[in-house]
């Protein structure tokens, strides 16, 4: 039986959820942040799940309207500050991935503070992908290795990435069937699940059903069995 030790989620549909309800897109992001909290708490108490990686803000998301981007930055900082006690209570280690240099100094400081204050936690590892793009991640890793005197191996490149752990189960909400530049290296042999549910409507029950299906899949990793 498969174990979903590392789950990654593309949290899609916040804006559409709000628009369908006649609300501003930012209301969808607020509701989506609550779902992040619920799913993280569930995973922290699940005996098999070790890592949860969530696509929170991509390198392409800067193309969105300026006011929406500004709101997302404020929401992220507020979320991290408010969730620190919950991280500690649930023994969750926070490990962001992505190129954080593009964020404001204030947001960078908050991200680092939460990372430092949860560094001792040894339960679930929650990674928020922030200003993250898989191609950007791979390019940065290659640049860090280019002066190496050794022949670059898969292991060396993997260790140079922001996320150094393979994905077991990758989920995308919102109905689209694409990876959108998310964890392309790490998802090489991940099982992919796409669901039509918009992220603000995604529930713990939905996740449990997907995990149950995942446990029954025959994973061959290129072999016959």
**Domains of the chain and any CATH numbers:** 6-202 (3.40.1180.10)
Q: What is the mean pLDDT of residues 194-216?
A: 97
Percent of the chain surpassing pLDDT 70: 97
**Annotated catalytic sites, by residue?**
12, 61
Which residues have a Cβ under 8 Å from the Cβ of 159 and sit 6 or more positions away?
none
What is the CB neighbour count within 10 angstroms for residue 111?
A: 20
At 162 the three-state DSSP class reads coil
**Whether 208 contacts 43, CB under 8 Å:** no
Residue 80 banded pLDDT, cuts 50, 70, 90: very high
Q: What is the mean pLDDT of residues 66-85?
A: 96
pLDDT tens profile 132-171 = 999 999 999 999 998 888 899 999 999 999 999 999 999 9
Looking at residue 217, what is its pLDDT? Answer: 86
CA 213, distance to chain mean position in Å, is 21
Residue 75 has pLDDT above 80, yes or no: yes
pTM for the predicted model, two decimal places: 0.94
Which residue shows structure tokens 């140079």? 160
Q: What is the mean pLDDT of residues 113-125?
A: 98
Conformational region of residue 221, where left means phi above 0, alpha means psi within -120 to 50, and beta covers everything else: left
Distance between first and last Cα of the chain: 13
Q: What is the mean pLDDT of residues 209-221?
A: 85
Q: What is the DSSP string of 165-213?
A: S--SEEEE-SS----TTSSTTTTTT-EEEE--S-GGG--HHHHHHHHHH
Residue 222 banded pLDDT, cuts 50, 70, 90: low
φ and ψ of 57, to 5 deg: -155, 120
Q: What is the mean pLDDT of residues 86-94?
A: 97
């Amino acid at each position: 039986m498969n174990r979903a030790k590392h789950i990654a989620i593309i949290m899609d549909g916040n804006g559409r959820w709000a628009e369908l309800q006649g609300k501003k897109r930012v209301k969808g992001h607020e509701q989506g942040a609550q779902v992040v909290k619920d799913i993280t708490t569930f995973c922290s108490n699940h005996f098999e799940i070790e890592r949860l990686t969530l696509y929170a803000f991509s390198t392409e998301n800067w193309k969105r309207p300026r006011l929406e981007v500004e709101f997302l930055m404020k929401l992220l900082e507020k979320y991290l500050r408010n969730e620190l006690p919950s991280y500690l209570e649930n023994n969750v280690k926070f490990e962001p991935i992505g190129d954080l240099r593009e964020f404001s100094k204030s947001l960078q400081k908050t991200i680092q503070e939460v990372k430092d204050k949860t560094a001792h936690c040894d339960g679930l590892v929650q990674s928020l992908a922030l200003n993250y793009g898989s191609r950007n991640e791979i390019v940065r890793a290659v640049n860090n290795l280019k002066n190496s005197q050794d022949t670059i191996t898969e292991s060396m490149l993997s260790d140079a990435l922001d996320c150094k752990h393979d994905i077991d189960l990758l989920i995308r909400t919102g109905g689209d069937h694409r990876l959108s530049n998310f964890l392309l290296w790490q998802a090489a042999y991940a099982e992919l699940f796409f669901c039509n549910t918009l992220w603000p409507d995604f529930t713990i029950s939905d996740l449990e059903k997907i995990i149950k299906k995942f446990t029954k899949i025959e994973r061959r990793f290129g072999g016959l069995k």
